[in-house]
Amino acid sequence: MPTELRRWRKRQGWTLGDVSGLTGISVSHLSLIERGLREPPPRLKVRIARGVGATVAEVFPTPGDEAINV
């Protein structure tokens, strides 16, 4: 399942290289994650979200998240 990472990154005007520099994760790995070809473990999701200044839920939403009002 594709993530919101690509939309988030493009809104910021960042390239995959920029996100790689912020997170320490290779461009190729980020590309696979963006396209939904790799599912990152929770710790990597946190690392990516922190690197781009987002929450995990913003970058890696799960089905039904939008229906939850806390």
Q: Does residue 4 surpass a pLDDT of 50? A: yes
Q: Does residue 66 surpass a pLDDT of 60? A: no
- In this prediction, residue 69 carries a pLDDT of 44
With tokens 């229906």, the residue in question is 67
Tens-digit pLDDT profile for residues 5-59: 999 899 999 999 999 999 999 999 999 999 989 999 999 999 999 999 999 999 9
Q: Give me the domains of the chain, ranges plus CATH numbers.
A: 5-58 (1.10.260.40)
Q: What is the pTM of this model?
A: 0.82
Cβ atoms 19, 26 nearer than 8 A: no
Q: At 24, phi and psi to the nearest 5?
A: 80, 15
- In this prediction, residue 28 carries a pLDDT of 98
Torsion angle defined by CA atoms of residues 19, 50, 45 and 32, in that order, rounded to the nearest 10 degrees: -10
DSSP three-state, residue 40: coil
